[in-house]
Structure 1
Amino acid sequence: MRCSKSRYDPGGGGINVARVAQALGEKACAVFPAGGLTGGQIIGLLAEASIPMAVVAIEGPTRESFTVNETETGNQYRFVLPGPSLTESAQRQCLTRLSEATSDGSFVVASGSLPPGVPPGFLNEVARLCSLRGLRLVVDTSGAGLSNLSEPVYLLKPSVRELREFTGLPLDSDDEQAAAAEDIVMQGRAEIVVVSKAAAGVLLVSADGVVRIPAVPVPPGSGVGAGDALVAGIVVGLTQGLPVVEAVRYGMAAGAAMLLTPGTEVCKKPDVERLYRSFSAVSAEV
């Protein structure tokens, strides 16, 4: 099976968020563990892109995941390999690096699944660190990391599947999904919940109520990193003083713009701005 030319991009949830934030004109520091040849390659690619980073050195090689685009059918196949197990020492170092990296920040984004060896409640430690530092924590995770999240956070960004995991409910209808997100807000577990529904748009839930925002129509393309771009765009919008609804729309524009770039390439700011302006013709249902 012969393939065309490949490309390499640094990836992983938090790294993707940092890359998109920089593409949109904001400074972000990627905090992550790295080891082996692949870890060195990620560090080199981030340095080449001038993205600030705080790295925790580990013994095992950083996982390498890859995406194959079948050009004749347009199908995309994603291969996500298992990562190395993180020791307790490495986990402590990650928290230390995070504390150091946020000395002048206002938002922390915890994105991606927990690596092997990390206890399910690890994100609660991140939440407590952010609370002590007066930082707003945005969480975009799944599996054990999400289901064991008990500390309050500023913004929670689950997909419908992840919201089902978090609540343990089937949530078959839009109204049920909105009600589940409202319960999370009323319980004080998150100030804002943004439920991503792919082509169906998003549900934005806060103390102000529920806002349904339709997706931005774009041609089919590679959706790798689109969810991370959504989160990055929301945080960039909030950092720049946009109201929450507008920040979510800006994030949706960033996620949609990822479909306009090949493979795992980061979105372009002109595309994001153009797609964001298109929301002026789209009404949101409150």
Structure 2
Amino acid sequence: MDKTILTITLNPSVDKSSSAENIIPEKKLRCNSPKYEAGGGGVNVSRALKRLGVSSDTFFTSGGRTGRLLEELLQAEQLNLVPFHIAAETRENFTVLDTSNNKQYRFGFPGELLTQDEQNKILISVKVVNPFPDFVVISGSLPAETDADVIRLLVNKCKSKGSKVIIDTSGEALKAAVEEGVFLLKPNIGELAVLVGKDKLEEDDVDRAAQLIISQGKAEIVVVSLGSQGAVLFSANEKIQIKAPHVEVKSTVGAGDSMVAGMVSVLVKGGDYKEVLSMGIACGSATTMAEGTGLFTKENVDRLYKEIEKQ
């Protein structure tokens, strides 16, 4: 029997994307009709899992007109929604493609502060989920000025219920989660450097940094994203490095979230770590082939996974 999954997104968004020709300052730009898609770390993980045929519950904050649109967009994708309504307006992000040179410009907005009362109620809402999921994915940024301690408390609550926590965030939120200890951590090299108190890491230092985090009990699995070079997975007794397949990159929006979804889709079925990493890279790479803020197609994931298996 497959394990159950809950994704948590405290700073979701509606992602608006368009295109224009020859973007230059101080000129009125005529954009093509916009496209609206649900966004934010855990939200995208749930959307990607759905495309892989894996069910999850999607817990996210929702406020105002944009929050209602976000819920409508997710309902259209037939996800299992657990919206938590807040006073502030859900944020929007904006992406525009310059069709003259195929360069993409991404504008991300911070999101409004979660009040202390809202944070407390979120923790209670998550704690009383019944039955509690086997895996919890906490992914995405925190709204501006929100204390990162809420992430530590969320991780603590989920672990106390016996859930395996997967974290994909950055900055103080990432530090707080790792201090509490998680099952799987997915930093890039820069984020990994911060976690071990370094300004930067050379390639040889990555192994030592990841193993230090594991030996300190802060994570069972560390997957270091290497961008177009693929990724490397560390556990207590394994190191698996896999190169990303060559694809035509149209957008990197949602690639990291898709990678997390790919890994989780294998973990819930009891796959080995090589399969976990291979599916993660296949999903992340397939999403870079999509335009704007779109995610992967299952067809591209299957094709890329077969390529990766041949490495």
Q: TM-score band (shorter)?
A: over 0.9
Q: Deviations over 1:230-252 (max 9, x none)?
A: 00110011112210121111011
Tell me the alpha carbon deviations over residues 186-216 of structure 1, each in whole angstroms, 9 at most, x when there is no partner. 1110000001010121121111132221112
2:199 paired residue number: 170
Give distance in 2, aligned partners of 1:70 and 1:102: 47
User: For the residues of structure 1 that align with 2:131 and 2:187, how far apart are their CA atoms?
Assistant: 28
Q: How much has 1:118 moved relative to structure 2?
A: 2.5
Counterpart check, 1:202 vs 2:246? no
In the other structure, the counterpart of 1:232 is 261
Matched residue pairs, number?
A: 282
Look up the SS of the partner of 1:65 in the other structure. strand
Q: TM-score, normalised by structure 1?
A: 0.95
Please list the CA deviations of residues 49-96 of structure 1 after superposition, one character each: whole Å capped at 9, or x if unmatched: 111111111111111001111112111110001201101121122223
1:80-122 CA distances to partner (integer Å, 9 max, x unpaired)? 0120110112112222332344625211011011223432222
C-alpha separation in 2, matches of 1:241 and 1:165: 31
Query: In the alignment, which residue of structure 1 is the partner of 2:95?
Result: 67
Aligned counterparts of 1:277 and 1:250: Cα–Cα separation in 2: 10
Given candidates 273, 280, 286, the residue that maps to 2:309 is 280
Structure 2: tracts of 5 or more residues without a match: 1-28
The equivalent residue for 1:263 is 292
Q: TM-score, normalised by structure 2?
A: 0.87
Partner of 1:155: 184
Contact kept? 1:29, 1:101, Cα under 8 Å:
no
Partner residue of 1:92? 120
Query: Paired residue for 1:3?
Result: 31
Contact 2:95/2:106 (8 A) holds in 1? yes
d(CA) in 2 for partners of 1:101, 1:262:
36
Indicate the percent of aligned positions where both proteins have the same amino acid: 37
Written as runs of structure 1 = structure 2, the 5 A alignment for 1:1-286 is 1-101=29-129, 103-149=131-177, 150-282=179-311
Contact 1:31 1:97 in 2 (8 A): no
Contact kept, 8 Å, 2:190 with 2:201, in 1: the verdict is: no
1:172 Cα deviation from its structure 2 partner: 3.2
Spell out structure 1 runs of 4+ moving beyond 6 A.
none
70-79 or 166-175, larger mean C-alpha shift: 166-175
Amino acid at match of 2:194: E
Give the drift of 1:2: 0.7
CA contact (8 A) 1:193 1:204 kept: yes
Write the letter of the residue equivalent to 1:81: F
Task: Return the offset for 1:262.
Answer: 1.7
Q: Is the 8 A contact 1:226 1:254 kept in 2?
A: yes
Tell whether the 8 Å contact from 1:224 to 1:263 is kept in structure 2 after alignment: yes
Cα deviation code 1:143-191 (max 9, x no counterpart): 1111233111100001111112222213432110121011000111000
Structure 1: tracts of 5 or more residues without a match = none
Q: C-alpha separation between the residues in 2 aligned to 1:82 and 1:245?
A: 36
Structure 2: how far apart are the matches of 1:9 and 1:270?
20
The CA deviation at 1:268 is 1.2
Q: 1:122–1:104: structure 2 CA closer, same or farther, 3 Å change rule?
A: closer
Q: Is the 8 A contact 1:178 1:203 kept in 2?
A: no
In the aligned structure 1, how far is the partner of 2:115 from the partner of 2:288?
36
Greater RCO structure (CA 8 Å; 6+ sep)? 2
What CA distance in whole angstroms lies between the structure 2 residues aligned with 1:62 and 1:186?
A: 39
Query: Over the residues paired in the alignment, what is the CA RMSD in angstroms?
Result: 1.4
Distance 2:124 2:75 in 1: 21
Q: Determine helix, strand or coil for the equivalent of 1:191.
A: strand
